[in-house]
């Protein structure tokens, strides 16, 4: 039977099954993956002083840091965001990759040990130095080892001999606040 997942391919699925992760992965896809930006997504993106973008062409994958004053990247539609690409070091790796292969993935995060972290997969359109990404998949990034740069400590270092707490509970339901409108029943 064909797997109807939008987020996971057979390589992901094999490892999810090998390490007891499919239940959590399926719950995340069912309850947290979306195709239009939610209000908290928009707030994070508009306040972001930076994000990371992965792009690639001809088998040459790359990830780049993009930064600017908060507001340099803007949500301009239900599933679109835009920014103006800066010159950087004049290699034009991201723009060049997107010109050949518009598929990309973005990661927005704050290193405070508590805030939302957001993944955006989509298709880019480049006009001059203006980049517009139309999101196909929007979903959270796991907070487990994201450091709080204010203290320098990771958010959840675990004793290697102890099973991760999220494996013993409904991770997606339990990590959401009671008043979260996207919390599953």
Residue numbers of the chain with a pLDDT score lower than 70: 1-2, 113-114, 144-145, 152-178, 180-185
- Split into its structural domains, the chain has a count of 1
Q: What is the pLDDT of residue 166?
A: 41
Q: Determine contact, residues 140/116, Cβ cutoff 8 Å.
A: yes
What is the domain extent for residue 113?
Answer: 39-140
pTM of this structure: 0.81
Q: Is residue 31 part of a domain?
A: no
Q: Is residue 32 part of a domain?
A: no
- Round to whole Å and give the CA distance between 1 and 141: 28
Q: Is residue 185 part of a domain?
A: no
The DSSP bridge partners found for residue 61 are: 56
Encoding tokens for residue 184?
A: 């599953």
Q: Is residue 184 part of a domain?
A: no
Q: Is residue 171 part of a domain?
A: no
CATH number at residue 87: 2.30.110.10
61-98 tens-digit pLDDT: 999 999 999 999 999 999 999 999 887 788 889 999 99
Q: Is residue 155 part of a domain?
A: no
46-62 tens-digit pLDDT: 999 999 999 999 999 99
Q: Is residue 92 part of a domain?
A: yes
Which candidate, 75, 7, 6, places its Cα nearest to that of 40? 75
Q: Is residue 150 part of a domain?
A: no
Q: Which region, left, alpha or beta, applies to residue 43 given φ > 0 means left and ψ of -120 to 50 means alpha?
A: alpha
């Amino acid at each position: 039977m064909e797997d109807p997942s939008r987020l996971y391919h057979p390589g992901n699925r094999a490892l999810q099954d090998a390490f007891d992760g499919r239940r959590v992965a399926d719950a995340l896809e069912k309850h947290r993956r979306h195709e239009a930006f939610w209000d908290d997504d928009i707030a994070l993106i508009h306040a972001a002083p930076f994000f990371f973008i992965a792009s690639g062409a001809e088998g040459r994958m790359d990830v780049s840091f993009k930064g600017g004053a908060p507001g340099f990247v803007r949500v301009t539609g239900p599933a679109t965001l835009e920014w103006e690409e800066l010159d950087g070091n004049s290699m034009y790796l991201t723009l060049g990759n997107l010109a050949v292969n518009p598929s990309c993935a973005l990661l927005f995060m704050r290193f405070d040990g508590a805030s939302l972290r957001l993944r955006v997969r989509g298709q880019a359109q480049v006009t001059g130095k203006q980049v517009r990404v139309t999101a196909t998949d929007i979903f959270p990034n796991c907070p487990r080892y994201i450091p709080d740069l204010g203290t320098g400590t990771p958010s959840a270092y675990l004793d290697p001999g102890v099973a991760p707490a999220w494996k013993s509970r409904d991770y997606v339901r339990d990590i959401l606040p009671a008043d979260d409108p996207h919390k599953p029943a």
